[in-house]
Amino acid sequence: MIAGRCLVCGGKLIDHVNSIEVKCEKCNKIARTNIVCENNHYLCDRCAHEEVLSKINKMVPTMTSANPIDIGEELMMKCGISGNSPHVIVTAAFLTAIKNLNGSVTDDEVLEGIFRATQIPGGWCGYYGACGAGIALGTAFSIIKKATPMSDKERSFANEVTSGALKCVAELGGPRCCASSVRRVLSYGVEIAKEELGIEFPKAESDLTDCWTRKFNPDCKGIKCIYNPIHKTDKNLEMA
């Protein structure tokens, strides 16, 4: 369910500095990757997120919440986290919240966001210096502003959002935790939406101060994580 364990055997994931040639255990696709399990199992992003993505696609149209943080938490809890699915969760949660809030985002735009987010590979936070969750928030704002590579202010704004989101992720420290990245990025998105777009979401109902994913994440940072119960008064956890 949670990134950090092999989806084939449950073994520990090994992060290599240099990429190696591998074959997907499910579709037999030959690829290069930096991440395999201790038993040399590998799943490509498509196969790794297939089950979770199917659940997300079924669940998103039924969601009525108008807060991205609450939607993100529910998607992680009920659909799971595997492969690059956290990127999809960020984009889907943010766009769905706006759709439910004021209808300015359409169902087709939510689907477009999900499609784009599936193209953001896993592991980019460490190997490419750009967390996929941060890029996924920029993707959501790109859709909101209808940006293209040829746009002016819209393109700049989407990149500024991504830049700010990546800074938020960087400040979390490591090792990576996809759940923490999703939460921090969505919280940042709520702030930017209010400041730059005049969109004010209802207050989140989710309690981020008592992280439920720490029970499943073998690489949990413990008290170093801002979502650990020890930090209940941390100003970073003020919810929109």
Is residue 26 domain-resident? no
Preceding peptide of 175 cis, ω within 30°: yes
Q: Is 32 a member of any domain?
A: no
For residue 39, the model assigns a pLDDT of 94
Per the domain annotation, does 7 fall within a domain? no
pLDDT at 1: 45
Whether 1 is in a domain gets the answer no
Domain total for the chain?
1
Tens place of pLDDT per residue across the chain (240 aa): 455 788 899 888 899 999 999 999 999 999 999 999 999 999 988 898 889 999 999 999 999 999 999 999 999 999 999 889 999 999 999 999 999 999 999 999 999 999 999 999 988 999 999 999 999 999 999 999 999 999 999 999 999 999 999 999 999 999 999 999 999 999 999 999 999 999 999 999 999 988 999 888 888 999 999 999 888 765 444 544
DSSP symbols for 17-64: EEEEEEE-TTT--EEEEEEEETT-----HHHHHHHHHHHHHHHGGG--
Return the pLDDT at 167.
98
Q: What range defines the domain where residue 194 resides?
A: 49-237
Q: Tell me, what DSSP letter sits at residue 67?
A: -
Q: Flag whether 124 is in a domain.
A: yes
* CA distances from residue 16 to 36, 40, 130, 204 in whole angstroms, order as listed: 8, 12, 17, 38
Task: Decide if 178 is inside a domain.
Answer: yes
Q: How far apart are CA 83 and CA 121, in angstroms?
A: 8
Contact predicate 120/139, CB 8 Å: yes
Q: Extract the tokens encoding 64.
A: 């009525």
Q: How far is CA 157 from CA 151, 167, 202, in A?
A: 10, 15, 24
Q: How many CB atoms lie within 10 A of CB 152?
A: 8
